[in-house]
Amino acid sequence: MLYIGVDLGTSACKFLLVDETGKVCNQVSREYPLSMPHTGWSEQDPSSWWQACLDGIPALLEGFDPAQVQGIGMGGQMHGLVALDAADKVLRPAILWNDGRTARQTDYLNKEIGRETLSKYTGNIAFAGFTAPKILWMKENEPELYAAIAKIMLPKDYLVYRMTGVHATDYSDASGMLLLDVEHKCWSKEMCEICGVKEEWLAHLYESWQFVGTLKPDAAAALGLPESVKVCAGAGDNAAAAVGTGTVGKGHCNISLGTSGTVFISSEKFGVDATNGLHAFAHADGGWHLMGCMLSAASCNKWWMDDILKVTDKDYPAEQAPITRDKLGRNKVFFLPYLMGERSPINDTDARGTLIGLSMDTTRADITQAVLEGVAFAIRDSVETARSIGVEIPRSNICGGGAKSPLWCTIMANVLGIPLDILVTEQGPGYGGALLAMVCCGKYATVQEATNALVHVSRTIEPDAELTALYEERYQKFKQIYPTCKPLFKELAK
């Protein structure tokens, strides 16, 4: 039997064909454009996501028997606002997770409604990327379109709808809307009232592995699949990636170095840190998780390599080669990785990338090293927030495009002071989606059972005591830079 995992990303949709042993039999990707009509805005046309499915899934199935496909599971970019009218037509381009237009609405929610009130109703405070501030923005700036809303969906849920005709969402993805009572796993009537959201606009809630529907006849024909294929609710990209890396159950951690960076800590119990610096979300395994999300992680390195250094043929390893082990922990240059503002744990849309410590003897490699270290230090900020409430993180998985760099993994292990496990199969949210589909179809009884059977560690990067001590000293200096620059960031944003 075969299962399809879908990873609906910001720049592309990736499709995996996975057999029942967990082997990835085939994979394809379809890119689509990202629109930035104004500074700080980020939008996409949802029809481009569906077109990616129409192109990608038939290509994925070439050389395979479509009749063997049992189920489809989604992992997708979170927080995006997809607004539909009464005829289920998209009202406007989706406002994405990394869109920064809602600073005023976010301030209103956090300051006038109040952080304590928001945390009481949802377990979280407002961040500019969340869905609820986007609804308020639409209400204030596009009243005619707001008045036409009949359904509010998240990106991956729009694909589930196009496949099944069902308006569905899962608890993990819904947690990032600021409309869900995360602890009790139900829509918050209070938050709906605050944000002017009618509860009938919201999708039916499911656990991530639960069956939503089979393929509609027209969708099945267009995708080249049998109508009997089951579609589960799926999960937000980070929860799906956590399933794909076996970060389920009690006290497991996964660090992802993708376009954004995340620290994902699974838990069997609901919990919130005192400052709400971390997100307290439901997990795709039926439990909960704490998550720190930084908006620019591997994208910082991509920006430095592609846009600034103009590296040819994307030869990033050649740029990192001069950064030998004797240079680790001794760099005099620091980098704040806030190229698009920052979410966890500082929640500051005005924060910006900063290089400090430059001198006449600073080299190209020094700055490259500072970029890698800056991201690692910012990841540690979220780890320290979790540790502040008694969460123990003795080790972690590491995944994402940035984790393909042995140097970056070494830096990360020593900045955090913990072993980092690299997995045999690391395919991100798409692999997690495929595992959820297996559970949906009855191949495994639980998500934990699926990950125990199919997710395995390839190798482990151990921290070095000497390097860890050097990076501890560097991290304490890094921690002073943002508070010092924060007033200036606010002035520069005016």
Q: Which residues are annotated as a binding site?
A: 78-79
Phi, then psi, of 263 in degrees rounded to 5: -115, 120
| Nearest Cα residue to 452 out of 245, 175, 178, 232 | 245
237 in active site: yes
One DSSP character per residue, 44-67 reads E-HHHHHHHHHHHHHHHTTTS-GG
Q: CA-to-CA distance for 150 and 166, rounded, in angstroms?
A: 14
- Label residue 147 exposed, middle or buried (CB < 10 Å: 0-12, 13-18, 19+): exposed
Q: What share of the chain is helix, strand, coil (3-state, %, to 5)?
A: 40, 20, 35
The catalytically annotated residue of 99, 170, 237, 366 is: 237
Contacts of 291 (CB under 8 A, 6+ apart): 238, 262, 263, 264, 265, 278, 279, 281, 344
- Cite the annotated binding site for substrate by residue number: 78-79
Sign of CA dihedral 32, 38, 39, 43: negative
Q: What angle separates helix 237-244 from helix 428-440, to the nearest 10 degrees? A: 80
Q: Cβ contacts of residue 39 below 8 Å, gap of 6+?
A: none
b (16+ CB within 10 A) / e for 464-484: beebbebbeebbeebeebbee
Q: Is the dihedral of CA 106, 112, 114, 120 positive or negative?
A: negative
Give the residue numbers annotated as catalytic, written as ranges: 237
